[in-house]
Structure 1
Amino acid sequence: MKHVTKADGGRQPFDPEKVQRTLRKMGVGAEDAERIAGEIAESVPDGVRTAAVLRMIRARAKAVHPAVSHRTNLRRALGLLRSKPDFEEFVRVLLREHGYQVETGCVLAGRCGEHEVDAVAEKDGTTVFVEVKHHVSHHRVTGLDEGRIARAIIEDLQEGFRSGRCVVAIDGALIVCNTKLSEHAKRYATCRGIGHIGWDYPEERNLRTMIEETQSYPITIVAGVSRSVSTRLAAAGVVTAKQIAYGDATTIAHDADIPLKEVLLIAGRARAILEA
C-alpha cells in the first residue's frame, strides 16, 4: 500500500477516492475523474507529498477541463484573504447566502461590559453573535480559546438583556473559522451549545460545503488576483467571485480604483469557474 506525506510530516494511506473527489470539485466529470485517479495512483511513489499529488491533479484536470486553470485551491484562497476586514465580510456574505439576517458593526452591552462582535445573525427565530477566526495558513488548528471566550460573552450578554442593558436577546454564539478545529474545541462547543463552523466541521454543514452549495467562492479563488487587487475589491465590498462575475464591472472598477480592463478579465475568469 502506498502512503502520502502530509504537510505536517504525518503519513496516511494514499486514497484514490479522495483524488476523485478533488477532481470532481474542480468540475471534472465522473469518468475522467476515475481514470485520472487511477493513473495517479499507479505513478506516484510511496511517501509522495500531498502538495505534489495536488499538482498532479491540477495538471491532469486542466487537460480535460480548461476552466481549472482559472481557479486556485479553495483552502488556499481562504487563507489569502486578509483576516480583517476581508474574511469577516466574506463570512457575513456567506451567512446571508444561507438565509441569515446579518447585522454588522455591533457593540452589545452585557451586565459587566460591552462587547464588539463581528456580526449578529438571526435565522429561524434564533439570534447569535458571530465571531470570526482566520488563519493565513490553513494547516493551523483553531483551538479551545475561542469557545471559552464566546461562552463568557454569552453569559454576560444574556445577563445584560435581563437587566435591561442589552437591547438584543442573544441565544448563543457562532464561531466561524477557515481551518480545522481541535478535538478539544469540538467537545467544548458541543457541551456548551456553541455553534462552530470550521473547514470540515460539522460534517454535513461546514465551511467548505456551505461555500460549494451556494458557489460563494472568495474572490481569491480566481487565479492571478494579487493581494493589492483583492484588498481594493474588498474595500469596495466585493469579496466573492459571484459579486465580480455578475456585478457591474464599470461600477466595481470605479469603486475599487482598478482599471476596467483588469476587472473584466477577473470577471471572465470568475464566470468560467462558476459556470463550469
Structure 2
Amino acid sequence: MKHVTKVDGTRQPFDPLKVQRTLRNMGIGAEEAERIAGDIEESVPDGVRTAAVLRMIRARARAVRPAAAHRTNLRRALGLLRSKPDFEEFVRVLLREHGYRVETGCILAGLCGEHEVDAIAERDGATIFVEVKHHVSHHRVTGLDEGRIARAIIEDLQEGFRSGRCTVSIDGALIVCNTKLSEHAKRYATCRGIGHIGWDYPEDQNLRTMIEKTQSYPVTIVAGVRSSISTRLAAAGVVTAKQVAYGDAATIAHDAGIPLKEVLLIAGRARAVLEP
C-alpha cells in the first residue's frame, strides 16, 4: 500500500477515492476520474507529498477538461476570502441556499450584557445565532474556545429573553468555520448541543459538501481573481461564483467599481467552472 505525506509531515494511506472526488469536483466524469486516479496511484512513489498529487490531478484534469484550468482548490479559495465581511456574507448566502431564513448579524441583549452575532438563522421552527470563524490558512484547526463562548452566549440570551431584555427567542447556536475542528471541540459541541459546521464535519453536512451540493463556490474559486477584485465584489454583495456567472454583468461592474471587461472575463471562467 502506498502512502502520502501531508503538509504537517504525517503519513496516511493513498486514497484513490479522494483523488476521484477532487477530479469530479473539477467536472471530470466518474469513469474518467476513476481511470485517472488509478494511473496516479500507480505512478507516484510511496510517501509522495499531497501537494505533488494535487499538481498531478490538476494537470490530468486540464488535459481532459480545459475549463479545470480556471478553477482554484476549494480550501484555498475559502482561505483567500477576507474574514470580515467576505466570509461572513458567504456563510449567510450558503445557509440560505440550504433552506435557512437568514438575517444579517446584529447586537442582541442578554441578561448580563450585549452580544454581537454574525447572523440570525431560522429553519424548522428553531432560531439560532451564527458565529463565523475564518482562518487564512486551512491547515489551522478550530478549537474549543468558540464552543465555550457560544454556550455562554446562549445562556445569557435565553435569560435575557425571559427577563424581557432580548426581543429574540434564541434556541441555540451554530458555529461555521473553514477549517477542521479539534476532537475536543467536536466532543464539547455534541455534549452541549451546539451546531458546528467545519470543513469536513459533520460527515453528512459539512462545509465542503454543502458548497458542492448547491455549487455555492466562493468567487475566489475562479483562478486569477485578484484579492482587490474579490474585495470590491464582496463590497457589492457578490461573494459566490454563481452570482458573477449568472448575474447582470453591467450592474455588478457598476456596483463594484470594476471594469465591465473584467467582470465578463470572471463570469466566463465562473460558468466554465460551474457547468459540466
**Coarse TM-score class (shorter-chain normalised):** over 0.9
Aligned residues: 276
Are 1:208 and 2:208 matched, yes or no? yes
| Corresponding residue for residue 260 of structure 1 | 260
1:95-148, Cα deviation, whole Å (9 max, x unpaired): 111111111131100000000100000001000000000000111110000000
CA distance in 2, matches of 1:176, 1:182: 14
Are 1:108 and 2:98 matched, yes or no? no
CA distance in 2, matches of 1:16, 1:203: 19
| Corresponding residue for residue 246 of structure 2 | 246
| Corresponding residue for residue 7 of structure 1 | 7
CA distance in 2, matches of 1:154, 1:176: 16
CA distance in 2, matches of 1:33, 1:275: 17
| Corresponding residue for residue 49 of structure 1 | 49
CA distance in 2, matches of 1:216, 1:108: 29
CA distance in 1, matches of 2:263, 2:22: 29
Q: How does 1:84-233 map to 2 (within 5 A)?
A: 84-233=84-233
Normalised by the length of structure 2, the TM-score is: 0.99
Q: CA deviation at 1:15?
A: 1.7
Normalised by the length of structure 1, the TM-score is: 0.99
Structure 1 unmatched ranges of 5 or more: none
Q: CA deviation at 1:27?
A: 1.2
Q: CA deviation at 1:74?
A: 0.6
Query: In structure 2, what residue type is equivalent to 1:213?
Result: K
CA distance in 2, matches of 1:85, 1:259: 22
CA distance in 2, matches of 1:96, 1:265: 27
CA distance in 2, matches of 1:110, 1:31: 55
Q: CA deviation at 1:189?
A: 0.2
Q: List structure 1 segments (4+ residues) > 2 angstroms apart after TM superposition.
A: none
Provide the secondary structure at the position in 2 that maps to 1:168: coil
Query: In structure 1, what residue type is equivalent to 2:43?
Result: S
Comparing 23-32 with 238-247, which one deviates more in the overlay? 23-32
| Corresponding residue for residue 18 of structure 2 | 18
Q: CA deviation at 1:26?
A: 1.4
CA distance in 1, matches of 2:20, 2:117: 40
Q: How does 1:32-43 map to 2 (within 5 A)?
A: 32-43=32-43
| Corresponding residue for residue 82 of structure 1 | 82
Query: In structure 1, what residue type is equivalent to 2:122?
Result: E
Query: In structure 2, what residue type is equivalent to 1:139?
Result: H
